[in-house]
Every structure is written in structure tokens, then in C-alpha cells.
A and B are shown apart, each in its own frame.
Chain A
Amino acid sequence: EDQVTQSPEALRLQEGESSSLNCSYTVSGLRGLFWYRQDPGKGPEFLFTLYSAGEEKEKERLKATLTKKESFLHITAPKPEDSATYLCAVQISGGSYIPTFGRGTSLIVHP
């Protein structure tokens, strides 16, 4: 049973067309939720950590938000260089601190 579900699987945007990626989780206690960016053939690159509902983090065109059941990664006015797979991972409180990943959302931004 997947603990982390990401949607959509794939997303195509025009340059400048803002959108959001979703990560829903079904763990009993969340210690932390992470967003990573992964370029083809490369390792995950850390973007954000969120710890509690209501928390928000921003970096350039990206903003991550967290509720009790899901997280959103908002992309404002994306550029072609934002094209990548965006991965969500969770750490469970009271357990090991091992990040468990979702399947990712593949984002393509067309010029």
C-alpha cells in the first residue's frame, strides 16, 4: 500500500502557465515531508522540508505548502528549465527517519 501518492503522473505546461503538483500521504504521524527535483539520469536534488500543517516554503518560482493530508508544489510562471520530475517523500514520526518516496510528477514546460 503506497503511503505517498503523487498526481498528476505527468504535466505539460506552456511557459508562464502556473500550476500545482499534489502529494497526498497516508502515514499515521508525519515527521517531515520533502520535495526533491530529479533531472533525467541524475540524483534527487533537495528542494524543501515541511514539518507541520500550514507551513509554506518558497524558492524562486516554487512554493510548497502542507496540510494534514497533502502537500502542494505550486509553480508560478514556469520556464523550460523547470522541466524535471518532482518527487515527494515522507518521514514518519516515531519510526526510522528513512524518506519514503512517491512515484513523482514529470513536468515538461514548453517554450
Chain B
Amino acid sequence: EPEVTQTPSHQVTQMGQEVILRCVPISNHLYFYWYRQILGQKVEFLVSFYNNEISEKSEIFDDQFSVERPDGSNFTLKIRSTKLEDSAMYFCASRRSTEAFFGQGTRLTVV
């Protein structure tokens, strides 16, 4: 069964460092998302991406964040200068029609 895959599963980084989280969406899906979930809190929308551009973003997705689809399969989230409060699980999701399917997440720990 096709699935969304994310790498790495866990990343520890120092405050102020740049991180890139990687996702391979399901192959025939057209819409891509990044969400985050701070420990104990709800899953929050960050950004949606369609046709090689951002279609919508939340207030959380500030200038420190960027997304790219560098090739036909990968979808990345970059955080330029990480802060302690960026520590969270980051989920990638993709959809073709209505339902969004999620990856297993990357746990980002900023120290």
C-alpha cells in the first residue's frame, strides 16, 4: 500500500542551526502539506503546496520556514534558524482527492 515517507525520524539540532525535513509523498498525489504537533497539543497546519507553489500558509509559517519540491518525488521543509519552540513532531501529508494521508513524522528536538 502506498505511503508517505519522512526522513529522518528524529533530528536533534542546536538552536540557530538550519534543518531540512524530507518527505516523499504518495506518487500520484497532487497536494502536499506540512503540519506540526508540539508534545501534548493538537496537530497544527503549517503550509500547503500545489503545482509547485505555496497555496496557503498559517501564521506559524513565518519567514524562518520554507518549502520546496526539488524534484518529482521529494518535498522538503526547511527551518532556517531553529528556536527552542520549534521542537515538535513535523508531519508531511499528501492527497489526491479528499483524504489526506500522513507520514510517520520527524521528531525535531532543538537544544
Contacts and interface: CB of A to CB of B under 8 A. Distances in A.
B31 interface: yes
Nearest to A44: B102
Contacts of A100: 45
A107 to B, nearest CB: 16
Interface stretch (A21-29, A63-71, A90-98): A90-98
Interface of A: 31-32, 34, 36, 41-46, 49, 87, 89, 91, 96-104
Size band of the interface chain B makes with A: 20 to 34
Contacts of A103: 41-42
Interface stretch (B11-19, B71-79, B103-111): B103-111
Given A43-B103, A46-B101, A98 B91 contact: no
A46 B104 CA distance: 12
Q: Does more than half of chain B's interface fall in helix, strand or loop, or is it mixed?
A: strand
Interface string B3-14: 010100000000
Contacts of A87: 43
A44 B42 contact: no
B98 to A, nearest CB: 5
B55 interface: yes
Contact of A41 (B4, B6, B101, B107): B107
Nearest to B9: A41
Given A41-B105, A46-B100, A49-B99, 12 more contacts: A32-B98, A41-B107, A43-B4, A43-B91, A43-B103, A43-B104, A44-B43, A45-B102, A96-B48, A96-B56, A98-B45, A98-B48
Interface of B: 4, 6, 31, 33, 41-45, 48, 55-56, 89, 91, 95, 98-105, 107
B100 to A, nearest CB: 6
Sorted nearest first, the 7 A-B pairs with minimum C-beta distance are A43-B102, A101-B43, A103-B42, A44-B102, A43-B104, A43-B105, A96-B56
A97 B43 contact: no
17 contacts: A32-B98, A34-B99, A34-B100, A41-B105, A41-B107, A42-B104, A42-B105, A43-B6, A44-B102, A45-B102, A46-B99, A46-B101, A49-B98, A96-B55, A98-B56, A99-B100, A102-B42
